[in-house]
Amino acid sequence: MRHYQSFLNIIVLGVAASTASFACAQEVDAKADVNAGANADEPALGLGLGVGIQRSPYRGYGTKTRALPILLYNSKYFHVAGTTADFKLGSVSQFDFTLRAKYSNDGYKSGDAPILNGMDERKDGFWLGGAAAWRAPFAKFTLEWLKAAGNSDGQTVKLGVERGFSVGRVKLTPHLGVTWMNNDYVNYYYGVKSTEATSTRAAYTGKSTTNASAGLRADYSLTRSQLMFLDLSVTHYGSGITDSPLVDRSTTPSLRLGYLYKF
């Protein structure tokens, strides 16, 4: 029971320290654990600052630029990277298994963009689920399943693959990802209820869809304790999202960079 109570305490700490109001938080923080012993059991603690620049798929929303603190914590049983907290279940050969809790800033308010005027507020999400990683000799594969704890009642499944290689003090990591979202998730964030429909915004019931992403991350070790990272990526949205009258683009780019000091 002590482990589970500590897990809950770490979740609260990770969410608070990552300033949950920033939309790009979870992505920036997820990159911060590179070269920080994410798969090891030895204790690690890191603090830093990240900046995220992301194009929103919502019509007229424009580009979001966010700055946020970064928290990294690792121990035998727990791993926290910003808005994501893991309880380590153990490893079998090259496979790692964890229980996962995550905060996501997917919500919006009606004043965020003209197309959202008159829409009911969509709240951010708190997710619970599990994840697995396969540390193959040629690449790292990850699988994540999450279910929203309220609000959207959505579910997501994400499959990712990445391969890192070093060039001097720089580590380059190309990465690919595919994320499936169920009807409830898409309908909550991209659907338009009949009471929200207008002459310029038709009612829309969201359906399950799959997004694809690709990017390149660069990590530069300033010293043994200091790390800078840069991530350029692009996301292509599935038809369940692009068919929504709230959306006017099928592909959006993003840039994330940050600094991390490891104690």
Token digits of residue 195: 């009471």
DSSP calls for 77-118: SEEEETTEEEEEEEEETTEEEEEEEEEE---B-GGGSGGGTT
pTM confidence score: 0.83
Tens-place pLDDT, residues 161-213: 999 999 989 999 999 999 999 999 999 999 999 999 999 999 999 999 999 99
The pLDDT of residue 27 is 45
35 against 154, higher pLDDT: 154
Q: Which of 5-19, 69-83, 127-141 is predicted with the least confidence, judged by mean pLDDT? A: 5-19
**What is the per-residue pLDDT for 65?**
85
Any alpha helices (H) in 23-181, and if so which ranges? 25-31
Looking at the structure of the chain, the number of domains it has is 1
Q: How far is CA 81 from the centre of its chain?
A: 10
Residue 108: the pLDDT is 92
CATH number of domain containing 117: 2.40.160.40
Which of 235, 240, 245, 111 shows the shortest CA–CA distance to 185? 240
Give the residue numbers spanning the domain of 162.
2-262
Q: Is the predicted pLDDT of residue 14 greater than 70, yes or no?
A: no
| Non-local CB neighbours of 95 within 8 Å, separated by 6+ positions | 132, 133, 134, 135
Q: How far apart are the first and last CA of the chain?
A: 28
Nearest to 262 by CA among 22, 25, 40: 40
Q: What are phi and psi of 98, to 5 degrees?
A: -145, 155
Which residue from 187, 100, 205, 192 is spatially nearest to 151, judged by alpha carbons? Answer: 187
| Residue 40 pLDDT class (50, 70, 90 cuts) | low
pLDDT of 4 above 60: no
Asked if pLDDT for residue 49 goes beyond 60, the answer is yes
Residue 63 has what pLDDT? 86
Q: Which residues face 175 on adjacent strands?
A: 162, 215
Looking at residue 153, the DSSP 8-state letter turns out to be -
Residue 21 has what pLDDT?
A: 34
In this prediction, residues 38-58 reach a mean pLDDT of 85
**Is residue 243 classed as helix, strand or coil in its secondary structure?**
coil
Residue 156: is its pLDDT beyond 70? yes
Token pair listed for 216: 């390149």
* Average pLDDT value for residue range 100-106: 92
Which of 7, 212, 213, 181 lies closest to 100 in space, CA to CA? 7
Q: How many other CB atoms are there within 10 angstroms of residue 5's CB atom? A: 9
